[in-house]
Amino acid sequence: MPGADAETWQSAVPMASLHCNICETDCDATAVKTARVRSNVRKFADETFELWRCPQCASIHASDEVDLAHYYADYPFHHLDQVGLDWRMRAMYAELLARLGAAGVTAATNVLDYGCGSGLFLSYLQDRGFGDLSGYDEYSERYTDRAALERRYDLVMSQDVVEHVEQPWEHLATLDTLTAPGGVIAIGTPNAESIDLEDVEARVHTLHQPYHRHMLSSTALQKVGERFGWELLKYYPTMYSNTRVPFVNAPFVNHYFKCFDNNLDLVVEPIQVGSWKLWTPVTLWHALFGSLYAAESDVMAVFRKPN
């Protein structure tokens, strides 16, 4: 009876509902936890944005509709080429390459960096002997050529992308299409479960508004492969930027940011080594031992597509 089915469905969905496009649940808008957080990009730091958490899967969603092209117009991460492959970036990318190497990636692997920003990781791979390299990023002028999406790759890298798109499952399906049978898919993303919406300033960089639209929980990320038949090879509880190299770890970076204006722009600006704010025992402690107690705030899952 079509009419009865429709009536049952309507009564099951709250009158004022929010839809989680990660676990596909409709949530009562009056019952979800919400918060407002400022942008962590200096140009927009006086703007705040609303977020809500799905009570089913713990993922976090941005409520406000925004003109992303406007906010990406002068995006700090698109200027990483100004930093170049300095010792810090090489330390981070060495950690990332070690993770990929553990999944069987070698210099003979053909690579797509989907959401590559300035393309700095591709430059690093080229320096390490990789030859077949492609990048795509719709908001980075240098890498908007969609011809890169017309072939398949043995490694598809998607670092800090899935949380930026309006439809996460569409993005993940695209990664599946781009990956050759037996290929590796590496996904790095914030972990929504680590974020306390009662203290959003503590995770202002993980929330990264208004750029992050839908943030998966670590549990949801690890289950991504179930939909596509991918095998989960390895889950990493911290981002590749959390290394054992002194001064190159997540707690030190967060400490450094808080010593100044706590905005993301500091990533691409000269290091303020002469500032008295840094010359403290706390700074040295974070610099030397921070990697040992980094929060599970930015995580990575490495999958293999079946043959």
Q: Are 35 and 12 found together in one domain?
A: yes
Structure tokens of 74? 């002068």
Q: Are 164 and 253 found together in one domain?
A: yes
Q: How far apart are CA 177 and CA 249, in angstroms?
A: 34
Alpha-carbon distances of 215 from 3, 137, 219, rounded to whole Å = 36, 19, 12
Cα–Cα nearest to 215, from 205, 225, 201:
205
User: What pLDDT is attached to residue 83?
Assistant: 86
Query: Average pLDDT of 18-41?
Result: 95
User: What pLDDT is attached to residue 74?
Assistant: 84
Q: How far apart are CA 166 and CA 265, in angstroms?
A: 24
- pLDDT of residue 78 exceeding 90, the answer is no
User: What pLDDT is attached to residue 220?
Assistant: 94
Q: Are 107 and 18 found together in one domain?
A: no
Q: Are 158 and 283 found together in one domain?
A: yes
Region for residue 178 given its phi and psi (left: phi exceeds 0; alpha: psi -120 to 50; beta: otherwise): alpha
Q: Are 66 and 90 found together in one domain?
A: no
User: What CATH number corresponds to the domain at position 116?
Assistant: 3.40.50.150
Q: Are 46 and 105 found together in one domain?
A: no
User: What pLDDT is attached to residue 14?
Assistant: 44
- pLDDT of residue 11 exceeding 60, the answer is no
Structural domain tally of the chain? Answer: 2
Q: Are 112 and 182 found together in one domain?
A: yes
**Length of the chain as a residue count:** 307
Structure tokens of 214? 């839908």
Q: What is the maximal distance between C-alpha atoms in the chain?
A: 75
User: What pLDDT is attached to residue 167?
Assistant: 96
Q: Are 154 and 53 found together in one domain?
A: no
Which tens digits make up the pLDDT trace of 81-104? Answer: 888 999 999 999 999 999 999 999
> Which one of 37, 56, 71 terminates a domain?
71
Q: Are 136 and 284 found together in one domain?
A: yes
User: What pLDDT is attached to residue 295?
Assistant: 95
Of the chain, the end-to-end C-alpha distance in Å amounts to: 43
Give residue 46's domain range: 2-71
Count of alpha carbons within 13 angstroms of residue 221, beta-carbon side: 35
DSSP codes, 129-171 = T---EEEE-TTSGGG--GGGGSS-EEEEEEES-GGGSS-HHHH
> Which one of 71, 92, 109 terminates a domain?
71
Q: Are 162 and 264 found together in one domain?
A: yes
- Check: pTM over 0.85? Answer yes or no: yes
> Which one of 50, 71, 92 terminates a domain?
71
Query: Average pLDDT of 268-285?
Result: 93
Q: Are 33 and 92 found together in one domain?
A: no
Q: Which of 16 and 102 is assigned the larger pLDDT?
A: 102
Backbone phi, then psi, for 296, in 5-degree steps? -85, 55
Percent of the chain with pLDDT over 90: 89
Q: Are 84 and 40 found together in one domain?
A: no
- pLDDT of residue 289 exceeding 90, the answer is yes
